A and B are shown apart, each in its own frame.
Chain A
């Protein structure tokens, strides 16, 4: 091992130790009599000091030495840790970190000898606040201490035997190679599918499984628990809280939630900012909290968990919350919105204004935050990695910021489309829905507003962008003239604005490996990268935001749209809700509120089985009871027995609305799912039959609002109490 290797190992280990010191010192401040923690802090500093002496970093050794002296007194119970001493020790940690950085870049421990720090530490040591040694046992006999150390190092050794340090670039390289392997596998599968060679097929199947497994494992090597970046937050919170005279307790849930390394790195700064913000602006001063009847110490809760292939990170505080009125005032002052708009905007929309550049609601600027840079940077940084930020707040109760981010950046699900003979990948994250206009609709479905093409999507005008035109491929007028004369619209979302992208054909969704483009091609903002398809050809990945900007969908229309939306919501005076429209028996129009649904599923007949007189489906490893809605709505006495599934038993696929009922899941089988709409469903008539809440006009049609709990309840009761008539299942 060469000298530089030793130094590198020393640096690596010391950085980790210092991070641990930060945590332990903050923990110790809360519980100053924790002898074990104190001993551990002492050992860490001692180790650093010892190694520096050995490597000849005198200045660093000196700083560590003074720190150690102070810690000795603490450990021996001659001093009791107080905030001042903690601050002193933390600044020593900072100084050591600074010097390590210096060593890393120059190989020397720098010119700065930190005289002030040394003096402060020495002063603290002399401060004769000698607390009575509450635990004489804390000053263990030397032999006992040695024993503890020996045990400790043994434990560390065994942990070391299970793990090895691997450079990130090696992992990146492995990731690239696995990506290649996956592509080669895809190609192999294509070959073997067209071949009759049984041997080849067996081998390629095996290869398929192994490659998938390998990909998963290699992805795992890049995963790190989010706790790695959270661990510095107790220190951050302590420092900020101390500097603004607040008391804050930090709680963490889901520390072990894992994220790709690149993402961890990318969200570190935004998260730190959010945490600082919460302490500085969110949580009130102790006296104000007492006045409001809250505990004088504020709570800051960090939560991380997985949800639908994404990771959600929440930062909540129980502070003062955002004052919508004040933001309204400020937004008007700044000319961001007009007073009329302000009146019409919902609180939630008002809150989203704080993500605009240069918009800060802090009444005074502190050195921590409130300078008006920040929230917009947080938002941009999170969006850069394909995530979203969203804020909820209740005045007087607190604020929660929700950051949603993808698990990994390297492999993303994407929709593959064709345009001008080449394939393009569209990241699934920005995809909303697909619309296909056929026959006459292909001609009439796209109208012009002063020459600008739009499509009426559920009563709203959706700006239409032709991919051919934007990419200058061939003749733009040919855009909707593909083989079958249909128009394929991919509805996308960019920067909170929707638009429809017309492509020649829609192929499929695929997991793609993202590869960066060469420097010169990067300047084309329309592409986010490239990927290799299963057949070995390269496909470009569309950058939806770049494309929208190119087509000027985003910049010009955004404000208008926001204002119009707000105006609409205010004018109706009714909260709009999303409804799922479907057709029941005899083509009846029916709806249920979307938020009562867990999922929409299309189940193949092979997954639906009859057990006794009940119909069930295998669904995500569970057994899902099914209720035929058409049947359940028939008047009870006219129900033909055992006919529940007869008329639809011939179907190959079932449209199932999965609902949660009474803590259980149940599936409602409907004839056809029509659409999802947003409507206020204002005009209402009383229900005409059981199982229906009321009739309402939705999208200009009289629609029956289905009472899901009632239907499931009835189905449940019938089968419970009349098992012999159990046509309906629960």
Chain B
């Protein structure tokens, strides 16, 4: 029997992404966000997750996708990273999907840009493709804004 694994899925700009379920701490509808001035633009802000201060990474910005329409309130997928919990801001939450190892494929050679760096590969679902996110990479925020002026 082939290896099966579970993914927590979500949408970003209509693309289906997934992170391995065992790395997910929780999914929260939306939290009040505190803006962090001078921080890299991928930092969506700071959340209060039951007394723990969690940094939110705006995945749209991280993946260099189009900015989210202002009327969409992002959802938080809180994942455990090397440096503590990080909240990933996504458009919409999908189902938890169980996939087999056999449906996995590395990203196509022709895929370029940030998305290629951030995904481990693709699971071929029946009528869709699941992009498997590289959580550690996605959680890196890059250097703080350098002094301009």
Q: In the complex the two chains form, is B34's CB within 8 Å of A537's CB? A: yes
Q: In the complex the two chains form, is A538's CB within 8 Å of B140's CB? A: no
Q: In the complex the two chains form, is A520's CB within 8 Å of B140's CB? A: yes
| Stretch from A315-323, A489-497, A523-531, A645-653 at the B interface | A523-531
CA distance in complex: A540, B53 (Å): 11
Q: In the complex the two chains form, is A473's CB within 8 Å of B37's CB? A: yes
Say how far B49's CB is from chain A's closest CB, in angstroms.
10
| Stretch from B5-13, B40-48, B89-97 at the A interface | B40-48
B50 within 8 A of A: yes
With A530-B53, A540-B46 in contact, do A518 and B34 touch (Cβ < 8 Å)? no
Interface residues of A in 476-533 (CB under 8 A from B): 515, 517-521, 523-524, 526-527, 530, 532
Quick one: which of A176, A519, A524, A532 contacts B38, CB cutoff 8 A?
A: A524
Interface residues of B in 13-38 (CB under 8 A from A): 32, 34-38
A590 within 8 A of B: no
Quick one: which of B40, B46, B143 contacts A538, CB cutoff 8 A?
A: B46
Interface residues of B in 131-149 (CB under 8 A from A): 140-145, 147
Q: In the complex the two chains form, is B144's CB within 8 Å of A518's CB? A: no
- Secondary structure class of chain B's binding surface, majority of residues: loop
Q: In the complex the two chains form, is A526's CB within 8 Å of B50's CB? A: no
Q: In the complex the two chains form, is B40's CB within 8 Å of A520's CB? A: yes
Quick one: which of B39, B46, B83, B142 contacts A519, CB cutoff 8 A?
A: B83
Q: In the complex the two chains form, is B50's CB within 8 Å of A518's CB? A: no
B55 within 8 A of A: yes
Quick one: which of B37, B45, B50, B84 contacts A180, CB cutoff 8 A?
A: B50
Q: In the complex the two chains form, is B84's CB within 8 Å of A536's CB? A: no
Q: In the complex the two chains form, is A532's CB within 8 Å of B144's CB? A: no
A422 within 8 A of B: yes
Q: Which residues of A contact B70 (CB under 8 A)?
A: none
Q: Which residues of B contact A526 (CB under 8 A)?
A: 37-38
Q: Which residues of B contact A532 (CB under 8 A)?
A: 48, 51, 53
CA distance in complex: A422, B144 (Å): 20
Q: Which residue from chain B places its CB closest to the CB of A182 in the assembled complex? A: B51
A173 within 8 A of B: no
Q: In the complex the two chains form, is A536's CB within 8 Å of B35's CB? A: no
Q: In the complex the two chains form, is A521's CB within 8 Å of B144's CB? A: yes
What's the interface size class on A, roughly? Answer: 20 to 34
* Tally of B interface residues using CB under 8 Å: 26
The listed residue with most B CB atoms (<10 A of its CB), out of A184, A473, A524, is A524
A411 within 8 A of B: no
Q: Which residues of B contact A523 (CB under 8 A)?
A: 143-144
With A530-B46, A538-B34, A539-B34 in contact, do A524 and B84 touch (Cβ < 8 Å)? no
The listed residue with most B CB atoms (<10 A of its CB), out of A518, A519, A521, is A518
Q: Would you give the 0/1 interface string for B45-64, flagging 1 where the beta carbon is closer than 8 Å to chain A?
A: 11110110101000000000
Q: In the complex the two chains form, is A521's CB within 8 Å of B32's CB? A: no
With A520-B40, A521-B39 in contact, do A422 and B34 touch (Cβ < 8 Å)? yes
Say how far B101's CB is from chain A's closest CB, in angstroms.
33
Q: In the complex the two chains form, is B50's CB within 8 Å of A521's CB? A: no
Q: Would you give the 0/1 interface string for A85-115, flagging 1 where the beta carbon is closer than 8 Å to chain B?
A: 0000000000000000000000000000000
Say how far B56's CB is from chain A's closest CB, in angstroms.
10
A472 within 8 A of B: yes
Q: Which residue from chain B places its CB closest to the CB of A519 in the assembled complex? A: B83
Say how far A468's CB is from chain B's closest CB, in angstroms.
9
CA distance in complex: A472, B143 (Å): 17
With A524-B38, A539-B34 in contact, do A518 and B55 touch (Cβ < 8 Å)? yes
Quick one: which of A180, A420, A524, A550 contacts B51, CB cutoff 8 A?
A: A180
A463 within 8 A of B: no
With A518-B83, A521-B55 in contact, do A537 and B37 touch (Cβ < 8 Å)? no
CA distance in complex: A527, B43 (Å): 15
Q: Which residues of B contact A422 (CB under 8 A)?
A: 34-35
Q: In the complex the two chains form, is B51's CB within 8 Å of A538's CB? A: no
The listed residue with most A CB atoms (<10 A of its CB), out of B34, B35, B45, B83, is B34
Say how far B73's CB is from chain A's closest CB, in angstroms.
16
Quick one: which of A515, A520, A550 contacts B53, CB cutoff 8 A?
A: A515
CA distance in complex: A473, B37 (Å): 7
The listed residue with most A CB atoms (<10 A of its CB), out of B51, B84, B140, B143, is B51
Q: In the complex the two chains form, is A179's CB within 8 Å of B51's CB? A: yes
CA distance in complex: A521, B44 (Å): 12
CA distance in complex: A422, B35 (Å): 7
Q: Would you give the 0/1 interface string for B74-117, flagging 1 where the beta carbon is closer than 8 Å to chain A?
A: 00000000011000000000000000000000000000000000
Q: Which residue from chain A places its CB closest to the CB of B55 in the assembled complex? A: A518
A183 within 8 A of B: yes
Q: In the complex the two chains form, is A521's CB within 8 Å of B43's CB? A: yes
Q: Which residues of B contact A538 (CB under 8 A)?
A: 34, 45-48, 53
Q: Which residue from chain B places its CB closest to the CB of A516 in the assembled complex? A: B53
Q: In the complex the two chains form, is A536's CB within 8 Å of B144's CB? A: no
CA distance in complex: A520, B62 (Å): 15
Q: Which residue from chain B places its CB closest to the CB of A550 in the assembled complex? A: B147
CA distance in complex: A665, B140 (Å): 60
Quick one: which of A472, A527, A536 contacts B48, CB cutoff 8 A?
A: A536
CA distance in complex: A575, B147 (Å): 43
CA distance in complex: A154, B30 (Å): 60
With A532-B48, A536-B48 in contact, do A518 and B84 touch (Cβ < 8 Å)? yes
Q: Which residue from chain A places its CB closest to the CB of B38 in the assembled complex? A: A524
CA distance in complex: A180, B49 (Å): 11
Beyond the given pairs A176-B51, A179-B51, 5 more chain A to chain B contacts, judged by CB atoms under 8 angstroms and listed by A's residue number, are A420-B35, A518-B84, A520-B40, A524-B39, A540-B36
Q: What are 13 A-B residue pairs whose CB atoms fall within 8 Å in the complex?
A: A422-B34, A472-B38, A517-B53, A520-B40, A520-B43, A520-B140, A520-B144, A521-B43, A523-B143, A524-B38, A524-B144, A532-B51, A538-B53
CB-based closest 6 A-B pairs: A180-B51, A471-B37, A538-B34, A538-B46, A523-B144, A520-B141
Q: List residues of chain B with CB under 8 Å of any chain A CB.
A: 32, 34-40, 43, 45-48, 50-51, 53, 55, 83-84, 140-145, 147
